[in-house]
Structure 1
Amino acid sequence: MSDQTQSGTPSTPTTVTVGQYLATRLVQLGADHVFGLPGDFNLALLDQMVTVDGFHWVGSTNELNAAYAADGYARIRRGIGALVTTFGVGELSAINGVAGSFSEDVPVVQITGMPSTSARANGLHLHHTLVDGDYDHFFRAYREVTASATIVRLQTATRDIDAALMTAISESKPVYLGIPADVAIAPVHAANLRTPLVAASSDRGELERFTEALAAVVAQHERVTMLVGPQVHRKSLEPVVRQIADHDGVYLASQNMAKAILDESHPASLGTYMGAFTRVDAARDAVDSAPVLVLAGTVMSDFLTGFFTQKFDEDAAVELGLTTARIADTTFYGVRLEDSLRALHAVLGRTGRASVTPVGHPDVAVAATPEPGVALDHAYFWAAIQGWLRPGTTVIADAGTSFYGALDLVLPDESDLLGQPVWSAIGYTIPATLGASIASPQKRSVLFVGDGAAQLTIQELATVLHRGHTPVIFLLNNDGYTVERKIQSPHAVYQDITPWDWTLVPAAFGARDLVVTASARTQEELVEALAVAHASENKAVLIEVVLPELDSPRLLTVLTDAIAAAAAHASAGA
């Protein structure tokens, strides 16, 4: 895209196409890998985007998977992700993934290549439309699951693009850009590209008022407890959280979407808080009975609060949100999370406190020596995984059995847990593993996914393998939908799935030589497979783990029993 001066050095062009402008902005924001599929209405756009230096196209197997991959990429990059689809059939395939990003505060840019401006104005009955002359059906649908939805006009193209991207990074929500084919190739001024986009700043006066009020509250108490949620991840604020945890007198717990935001070996760590389902009673009490409780980037949904069993008074807490802060009944508008956390760090640094007494971790089961011929169950499997995981791992766990097994792990230092407990779309994690592996290639991804979930999105494993990524994948085969079986009607026909030979799937994808496969039905076979996985660092590893149909990890058993009891109580009341 760059012009050349007479001396041969690159210079900034005076004009670029709309497609080039958008691609340049994405690269500037760190979204240099963009996922998606070609379609006739986005080809002109893609032809422009791929000419931009630093832009990398990642072709996906379908648009839903592209949305999941962009989401996983954004979470691990702590920035934005992006995907490109075609109009109608493509964007509708992706909308479930984008809705999940909205639900879980992930800034994903959904870019749709649209029919030309004239075709839209004239209501032509084109393919991929509903043949009613209305080209805005899908645009209106996206308005429901994005923070902004814009059909880009040539006259305001650069402003439209910049405004949407600023919304994504400021609000940590997905945005939608529809770009007609003729607009994609039209020239626009490039001057704005000289200045990268940055997030909005806090209101200085409100921030000063908040800091003064916070100092007054903190000065009254010897202990401060933080409950940290996923929005801290979205803003890349982990270093600030670790600085806060290093102050004397501070305890720090995390919600399950932010597990291991502080190394769980840290003296201040309370581990994962889930209301009544928190494993360590002292950790739960440290949150529920905190004299000063700071809610930092939290989400108060059912799965994150142990089905609303938290006992702390949310209204009396200090709440640090993405764009506002609150101390009890006083709200400070325009105070952004990055600044309120730094204010807390500064305030704690000005006051002296005694060091905290480490609460300690839950008892961690260590897998016993395998017994010959003994079938696997969840208890043995997760105990073996606990001892097998290495520091610096990206642990990825699909909704249900996999996620709630992984939540009970004490993660090794410098590790992350990537999951989707609020939206809880099964199948999310295989494409998300693609995005995570691209976003953080220095960390090995370890994926736990159930057989029912894998059947939704297994196609994207082909992309993972052929791009040379080397995750370890544990395919938990328990013959169907175990979570639903545990809640109600365990033997109903709708709980079953068709059986697959999982270890042959990579060969069907033309990736036989790129992956090591194994199947573990017994304790001995699992231990052998785990040893092979550690020894195969230069190849992907797929381990089928065969488990009993109605067996589940500890936390999921507790949760599904609670759900089933609540459903039975509701039925009795009716």
Structure 2
Amino acid sequence: MYLATRLVQCGVHHLFGLPGDFNLSLLDEMLTVDELTWVGSTNELNAAYAADGYARAGRKLGALSTTYGVGEMSAINGIAGAYAEDVPVVQITGFPSTSAAAEGLLLHHTLIDSDYNHFFRAYKEVTAAAAILTAATASRDIDRVLLAAMRESKPVYLAIPTDVAVARVPDSNLRDPLAGPRSDPAALSRFTRDLYARLQGTAEVTVLAGPRLHRRRLEDTVRRLAEVPGVHIASQPGAKAIVDESHPSSLGTYMGAITRSQSAREAVDQAPVLILAGVVLSDLLTGFFSHRFDPRQSVDLGMNEAHIDQTTYYGVTLEDSLNAVESVLHAQRVITEGRPVAPAATNQTVHRKVSGTDISSGSLTQDAFWSRIQAWLPDDAIVIADAGTAFCGALELKMPNNSDLLGQPVWSSIGYTLPATLGTSLAAPEQRSVLFIGDGSAQLTIQELTTILHQGLSPIIFLINNEGYTVERAIQSPHAVYQDVYPWNWTALPGVLAPGIDSVTTVVSTGTELETALETAAATTGKLVFIEVLVPKLDTPSILTELAAGLADANSSA
């Protein structure tokens, strides 16, 4: 009960996972806490993805429970993705009893070598903190590990032996909820002082907003910053629409040489003062390292430290450093006579237009599909797009008000988004989840559709059927046999996976059919809507074409 109560205090109200003999007593204890609801998943990998999506959609943490060995190793890919993408997920493993481990008994789910710590060591490579609990120190270790998840915005690992799961522990610590990240006051003071000097007299400031801002729930702070005269905000793909993309301060999405607006790219690469806020300078997010700015000559705000040029301020959290930027800019009144025109007044993504013939009577293309989606997307949506065609197509969109784009551009594990949609739908029921996923990706994780349906959730799912791995075809060997997937009857799956539960399904291959399906989706609010979209298998969004060329060059160079 101690662990369950702590999770609830941290905003976790749904526990994903699967039962196994080593976590049965643990689950029985945890689920005595009424505020925690069990969500059984179809496999452990999907449970990890769902917990990841849950954490991203407004919760402090996501959590899942599996059994030892076979269960936790099935989930570890999802945990590794959470680590790469800075998502605080708690992996809770039901562990064999303390005595069994001490004696090295040759139990099932072990490697039959008397070493019970193989998987603990594996998880230490992809978590910020890990512990195998003992009754004597359980409460202390639980708090330590959960604090690490919150402060580092990384996944953590708790292994709980069957005997420890039912042990009584002191509950006095529960009187005080766990505190989130805190800055070192002296370091923050030095940073603020030096920041004031660095920005003194600067009329124009460009902020590049990265995905780590989302992990720390700093969207409102960034939006306030956008109101400061002279501030212009570009976003990395993992933080798209952190500022309303119609806002005069918005520069749209920045991806180095793949940035759709030349003026937006120049506003970042040639900024007199560039503030990197929670950025990740990985290959896909920088257009294969084609950015022209030097991070060493910027103000760089990290999770738990900040940099001004080449000076580091340890122990300064992203929350406090971003607040300091806002305060300093306000105090200096960097522009005294109104707001200048943003460097990218024609800022956002270059949205493609298609003719009336293409969108109505002809066969659907990627251009036609995404152009119509642009006009249809509702406000207040969580748009989830899988790696490859779906995510690259979604990057071309101008996101509507109060919406967000969720993807996995760093780890890029295909199939991630369907279980993640389960997590977002439970974590943020007030926003409708809209999923775009390819047929190849969906074949990995489609079985979680049964959980979505049985939970009574109503996302809109667009299954982009292009007959296989189009993203890989765009990189190399487009006609190779390994690029194909076997055809499925996709629209039959909701009825197969959740018989008796009503949903709306349809297949579209023309603009006219798409129009009808979109009207139905908008009007259907209480059911899952599943739309299979047929497009040519070699057709790609333009961003994917450019990314694929970069990947091909990188691979050939390697």
The TM-score range, normalised by the shorter chain, is over 0.9
2:497 aligns to what?
A: 509
Of the candidates 320, 323, 339, which is equivalent to residue 355 of structure 1? 339
Offset, 1:58: 0.8
For residues 127-183 of structure 1, the C-alpha deviation after alignment (integer angstroms, 9 at most, x for no partner) is: 111111111111111011101111001110100000000000000010000000000
1:374 aligns to what?
A: 362
Of the candidates 518, 526, 529, which is equivalent to residue 517 of structure 2? 529
Of the candidates 382, 402, 416, which is equivalent to residue 390 of structure 2? 402
Offset, 1:566: 4.2
SS at match of 1:291: coil
Say whether residues 1:102 and 2:83 are aligned partners.
yes
Q: Letter of the aligned partner of 2:378 in structure 1?
A: R
2:120 aligns to what?
A: 139
Aligned partners of 1:153, 1:370: CA distance in 2, in Å?
A: 68
Aligned partners of 2:155, 2:185: CA distance in 1, in Å?
A: 27
Say whether residues 1:493 and 2:474 are aligned partners.
no
SS at match of 1:77: coil
Aligned partners of 2:281, 2:26: CA distance in 1, in Å?
A: 40
Aligned partners of 2:96, 2:31: CA distance in 1, in Å?
A: 20
Of the candidates 348, 352, 374, which is equivalent to residue 365 of structure 1? 352
Aligned partners of 1:519, 1:169: CA distance in 2, in Å?
A: 43
- Is contact 1:366-1:387 (8 Å) kept? no
Task: Describe the shift of the 1:120–1:566 C-alpha distance in structure 2 as closer, same or farther (beyond 3 A).
Answer: closer
Q: Superposed, which structure 2 residues align to 1:90-489 within 5 Å?
A: 90-352=71-333, 353=335, 354-358=338-342, 359=344, 360=346, 361-370=348-357, 373-489=361-477
Q: Percent identity?
A: 59
Aligned partners of 2:172, 2:287: CA distance in 1, in Å?
A: 51
Unaligned ranges ≥5, structure 1 = 1-19
SS at match of 1:187: coil
For residues 457-493 of structure 1, the C-alpha deviation after alignment (integer angstroms, 9 at most, x for no partner) is: 0010110011111111000001111011111111111
- Is contact 2:454-2:501 (8 Å) kept? no
How many residues of Structure 1 are paired with residues of Structure 2 in the alignment? 551
Of the candidates 40, 48, 51, which is equivalent to residue 67 of structure 1? 48
- Is contact 2:461-2:531 (8 Å) kept? yes
- Is contact 2:90-2:157 (8 Å) kept? yes
Aligned partners of 2:240, 2:69: CA distance in 1, in Å?
A: 37
Aligned partners of 1:296, 1:438: CA distance in 2, in Å?
A: 29
Aligned partners of 1:123, 1:426: CA distance in 2, in Å?
A: 38
Say whether residues 1:40 and 2:21 are aligned partners.
yes
Of the candidates 528, 538, 543, which is equivalent to residue 531 of structure 2? 543
Q: Letter of the aligned partner of 1:491 in structure 2?
A: H
Unaligned ranges ≥5, structure 2 = none
Aligned partners of 2:119, 2:59: CA distance in 1, in Å?
A: 28
1:13 aligns to what?
A: none
Q: Letter of the aligned partner of 2:250 in structure 1?
A: S
Aligned partners of 1:514, 1:303: CA distance in 2, in Å?
A: 39
Task: Describe the shift of the 1:129–1:48 C-alpha distance in structure 2 as closer, same or farther (beyond 3 A).
Answer: same
Say whether residues 1:49 and 2:36 are aligned partners.
no
Aligned partners of 1:562, 1:146: CA distance in 2, in Å?
A: 30
- Is contact 2:284-2:409 (8 Å) kept? yes
Offset, 1:529: 1.1
Q: Letter of the aligned partner of 1:381 in structure 2?
A: F
Say whether residues 1:555 and 2:539 are aligned partners.
no
Offset, 1:368: 4.1
Offset, 1:356: 2.9
Offset, 1:513: 4.1
Aligned partners of 1:101, 1:356: CA distance in 2, in Å?
A: 39
Aligned partners of 2:25, 2:388: CA distance in 1, in Å?
A: 41
Aligned partners of 1:511, 1:378: CA distance in 2, in Å?
A: 32
2:58 aligns to what?
A: 77
Offset, 1:201: 1.6
Aligned partners of 1:164, 1:341: CA distance in 2, in Å?
A: 26
Aligned partners of 2:132, 2:492: CA distance in 1, in Å?
A: 44
Q: CA RMSD in A?
A: 1.2
Task: Describe the shift of the 1:566–1:510 C-alpha distance in structure 2 as closer, same or farther (beyond 3 A).
Answer: closer
Aligned partners of 2:357, 2:28: CA distance in 1, in Å?
A: 56
Offset, 1:370: 4.9
Offset, 1:389: 0.3
Task: Describe the shift of the 1:534–1:367 C-alpha distance in structure 2 as closer, same or farther (beyond 3 A).
Answer: farther
SS at match of 1:541: strand
Offset, 1:557: 1.1
Q: Letter of the aligned partner of 2:533 in structure 1?
A: V
- Is contact 1:260-1:417 (8 Å) kept? yes
Aligned partners of 1:89, 1:566: CA distance in 2, in Å?
A: 35
Q: Which region of structure 1 is more displaced relative to structure 2, 216-225 or 356-365?
A: 356-365
1:31 aligns to what?
A: 12
Aligned partners of 2:354, 2:518: CA distance in 1, in Å?
A: 12
Structure 2 length normalisation: TM-score? Answer: 0.97
Aligned partners of 1:435, 1:251: CA distance in 2, in Å?
A: 33
Offset, 1:333: 0.8
SS at match of 2:266: helix
- Is contact 1:229-1:297 (8 Å) kept? yes
Structure 1 length normalisation: TM-score? Answer: 0.94
